[in-house]
Amino acid sequence: MSGPSFGFFGRCLEIDLTSAAVRVRPLDADLIADYIGGRGLATRLFCDEADPAADPLEPGNVVVIAASPLVGTNAPTAARGHMVFRSPLSGLIGTSNSGGSWGFAFKATGHDALVIKGKAPEPVWIDITPAGAAIHPAGKLWGGDIHATTDALTSGFGPADRPRVLCIGPAGENLVRFADVANDRNRVYGRGGPGAVWGSKNLKAVRVSGKEKIGIRDLERYKSGYDQAFHLLRQAPVTKRLLRELGTAGLVELINVIGMLPRRNFQDCVHRDEDLERISGETIARTILERAAGCHLCPIGCQRRTRITRTGSPDESGEGPEYETVVLMGPVCDVYDLAAITTANYRCNELGLDTISFGGTVACAMELAEAGALPPGFDGGRGLRFGNAAVLERLAVDVAHRRGPGDLLAEGSWRLAESCGRPEASMSVKRMEIPAYDPRASFTQALGYMTSPSGACHLRGGYAVSLAFFGGAKEIPRFSLLQSPIAIRNMQNIGILQDSLGVCRFTGYAFGSDPWSRMLSGATGMDFSVARLEEIANRIADLERLFNLAAGAVPADDALPARFAESPVVVAGEKRIVSREAQERMRRDYYQVRGWDENGRPAAGPRPPRRPDPTEGRRP
C-alpha cells in the first residue's frame, strides 16, 4: 500500500465462490463521503451487485460486510461490522449488525468491505489476511456447531496472533430461514437469516487476521470528539453501570410497568409480578451471572457470561440471555423459567439461530397447537403448548437440524402459519418476527416495525421505547399519531448512522451525533458535519427503500398483523389497539416525512439499485 490511509484503505475484497475468483477493487473516497461505511457502504455495494429478483437462497444473492472509517481507531465501541444480503425470511433487504471483534480484525487485514457472490461447488471456508484471500475446503468443519468451528479455526495461535472467525452453525447449513452468522462464538448477525444465505453458498466460515493500521488525519479534531464521548459514557448511569450490572434484561420489569411486555404470542400483556421477578435482569445478576463482558473497545459491558446448575445434569456455562431472548422464549411462550430459557439460548448460540425469530416462531406454533390447527401428530409427543418450558431446548435442536416439527418451524412463523391456513397467527411484519415490545403500547414503536426495511426489528425500525421513559420536553407522547412519524424517522436515522459508523446503539444513551461527527471528520480528514450526517442517513434509507421496491415490496407490506388492529390490550388503564386507519395515516405521513410519494417511492434519491433480471422469479 502506498502512503498512510486515513480512516479507510480504499480497498474492497470481492470473492466469487462459483469461480473461486478473488480480486481487490478500489473503493472510491466518494463512496465513503456519501455512505460512510458499515450499513451505508454495505447497502450501496450490495445494491450495485445484487439482482433484486434473484432468490435469496440461490447463487445470485450477494453478501456484503463492511467496516467503517472509525473501525481501526480507538473510538468507543467502534469494532462492529454490518452485513447486507437479500433475506430468505422477508425476500427484502436483509441488514444485520454485530459487535464482537471480527469487524475490527477484518479491517486490520487492510480491507474496508467484503463482497461474496456465487456458490462454491463444495463447502468451503475463506481465510483473509493482508496478503489476500484463500478459499479452503470446509471438510469436517461442515456439520460442526459455531463453537467447534471457531475453536478449530483458531487453535494453534497465540493470543497476540489469534485470528477471528465469523461462521455459521448447522442451522445455516440446513437453510433455516432465521439462521444467524456468529463471531467471537456468541456475537451474532442475528436477524433476517444471513446464516441461511451463507449455507446456500456453501460458505462455512470467514477467518481474518492482520495488523494493518489506519491513520488519523486530524488528531486534534478526532480527540475532541473522543474525549467528549468517553466522558459522557462515564456520566450516564445506563452506560456507566446499569447495563453492566443488569444486562439488557434489566428492562423486563420496566417494560412491564409501561404495559409493553408481550405474553402468549402477543395475545395479551398481563403478567404476575412474581413471575417476572424469576426472569428479570436482577435475578439473572443474582443467580446465574458469572461475569459481565463487553465487545472489543466497549466500556459498557452488557454481555452476560452465565452458568446454569440443575440437579441431575451437569453444569453448563455460556452467554445470555439478553432482554429479547428472555421475553421471546419466555413470556411470549408463556414460560417464566430462567434455566430453560438460558439453556435454549445456549443451544441457539451453538447451532446458529436468531433467538427472536426462534421464540416468535415457537410461540406461533404453540398458538396453532392450542387452536388445533397443526397437522395431527405434528409435535411428535414433544408437548408443544404454551407454558411448556421443556420444549424450548429440544425444539432449538430440531429446528437447526430440520428434524420432526423443526422442519416446518425452520421456515419461520409466517410460512408455518400460512401452511396451516392461519397466517394471522404469525406475529411478524414483512414475514420477520416482532421483537419484545408490544406495538399496541406505543404508536411510535408500531410505526417503526411497520416501516423497518428488513421487517419487524427494533434496531432497523427505530427504538421508540426509551421515548416513553423521558419526562418533559424530551418525551414524545407514545400515542401521538401526529408526532410518531417524525419521531420514528429521527430514531431510524440515528440507528442508520450508528450502524454506518460501526458503533453500538447503547452509546446513544450517553450522547448524540456531535462527538461522532468530530471523530469521523478527524479520522478521515473529510468534513462530516452533523447536518451532513443527517443527509447521509436519509440517502441510506432511500436506497434501502429502492431495493425493497425493486424486490417487489408494496405499501401494504408496511402494516402490522391484524391482531394489533383488532384485539386490544390494556395500557396505563386504557384499552389500546393500532387501528388500520391509524396505521394508514401514520404510514402516509411517514412517507411524506421521508420525502417519498404516496406509494413509498423516494421522489429524488440516490443512484437506484441494479435492475431486476426479468427472467428471475419475484419475491419467494
Partner 1 sequence: MKEPVRTTMTVRVRFFAAFRQTFGGKERIFELEEGTTLGRLLERLGDSPARRDEIFAAGEAGKPPALHPHVVVMINGENASARGGWSGELRSGDTVAVFPLMGGG
Question: Smallest distance from the beta carbon of 509 to partner 1, in angstroms?
Answer: 5
Q: Which residues bind partner 1 (CB under 8 A)?
A: 236-238, 242-243, 245-251, 253-254, 257-259, 281-282, 302, 322-324, 435-437, 458-459, 463, 465-466, 468-472, 475, 477, 505-506, 508-509, 571-573
Q: With respect to partner 1, which residue has the nearer C-beta, 257 or 531?
A: 257
Q: With respect to partner 1, which residue has the nearer C-beta, 61 or 96?
A: 96
Q: What is the torsional sign of CA 168, 169, 172, 176?
A: negative
Neighbours of 123 (CB within 10 A): 19
Q: With respect to partner 1, which residue has the nearer C-beta, 302 or 540?
A: 302
Question: What are 99's three cell numbers?
Answer: 459487535
Measuring CA to CA, how many Å separate 523 from each of 49, 69, 100, 228? 28, 7, 22, 15
Neighbours of 502 (CB within 10 A): 31
Q: With respect to partner 1, which residue has the nearer C-beta, 41 or 258?
A: 258
**How is residue 123 annotated by DSSP?**
-
Q: With respect to partner 1, which residue has the nearer C-beta, 55 or 322?
A: 322
Q: With respect to partner 1, which residue has the nearer C-beta, 290 or 574?
A: 574
Coil, strand or helix at 219: helix
Coil, strand or helix at 379: coil
Question: Smallest distance from the beta carbon of 392 to partner 1, in angstroms?
Answer: 21
Of 529, 503, 534, 504, the C-alpha closest to 518 is: 529
d(CA 579, CA 407): 35
**Those residues with Cβ within 8 angstroms of residue 574's Cβ, 6 or more apart along the chain or in another chain:** none
CA 610 to chain centre: 24
Q: With respect to partner 1, which residue has the nearer C-beta, 54 or 300?
A: 300
Question: Smallest distance from the beta carbon of 251 to partner 1, in angstroms?
Answer: 4
Question: Smallest distance from the beta carbon of 191 to partner 1, in angstroms?
Answer: 12
Q: Which parts of 277-433 are beta strand (E)?
A: 289-293, 303-310, 313-319, 428-429, 432-433
Question: Smallest distance from the beta carbon of 132 to partner 1, in angstroms?
Answer: 39
d(CA 583, CA 586): 5
Q: With respect to partner 1, which residue has the nearer C-beta, 246 or 366?
A: 246
Question: Smallest distance from the beta carbon of 309 to partner 1, in angstroms?
Answer: 25
Question: Smallest distance from the beta carbon of 250 to partner 1, in angstroms?
Answer: 5
Q: With respect to partner 1, which residue has the nearer C-beta, 246 or 536?
A: 246
* Residues facing residue 433 across a β-bridge: 428
Q: With respect to partner 1, which residue has the nearer C-beta, 149 or 445?
A: 445
Which residue is associated with the grid cell 484463500?
A: 134
Question: Smallest distance from the beta carbon of 272 to partner 1, in angstroms?
Answer: 14
Which residue is associated with the grid cell 469436517?
A: 140
Question: Smallest distance from the beta carbon of 518 to partner 1, in angstroms?
Answer: 23
Q: With respect to partner 1, which residue has the nearer C-beta, 281 or 485?
A: 281
Measuring CA to CA, how many Å separate 433 from each of 362, 427, 559, 599? 11, 6, 13, 24
Question: Smallest distance from the beta carbon of 419 to partner 1, in angstroms?
Answer: 31
Of 137, 94, 193, 127, the C-alpha closest to 400 is: 193
Q: Which parts of 400-554 are beta strand (E)?
A: 428-429, 432-433
Question: Smallest distance from the beta carbon of 469 to partner 1, in angstroms?
Answer: 5
Of 314, 61, 1, the C-alpha closest to 200 is: 61
d(CA 400, CA 404): 11
Q: Is 145 left (phi over 0), alpha (psi -120 to 50) or beta?
A: beta
